[in-house]
Amino acid sequence: MKAALPAALPALLPGSAAACAVCFGKAPGNQGLLDGIWWGIILLLSVTLSMVGGIAWLLYRVEKDRRKKGAGG
């Protein structure tokens, strides 16, 4: 019960849980930093999704070959 209070605190006080000015994009002169953060997120997501897609494709091919061998033999 005591652990639920700190977890619920940001929901009860949304003004104090707001992100800093850099995250909101209102920091003066930090457009380069924001662009770097954006492209970093895009890069990390693309690598992760490529890996998950590759694993899914591999599992699909293995299952397809297994069914093909099972039906033919």
**Which H helix or E strand runs over 65?**
helix 31-72
pLDDT at 66: 94
pTM of the model: 0.53
Whether 3 shows a pLDDT value over 80: the answer reads no
18-67: pLDDT as tens digits: 666 666 666 666 677 778 888 999 999 999 999 999 999 999 999 999 99
User: Cα–Cα distances in Å, from 22 out to 16, 36, 40, 42?
Assistant: 16, 12, 15, 18
Q: Do 27 and 21 meet the contact criterion of CB atoms below 8 Å apart? A: yes
Counting DSSP H helices and E strands in the chain, the numbers are 3, 0
What are the residue ranges spanned by the domains of the chain?
10-72
Half-sphere exposure of 43 (CA within 13 A, CB side): 6
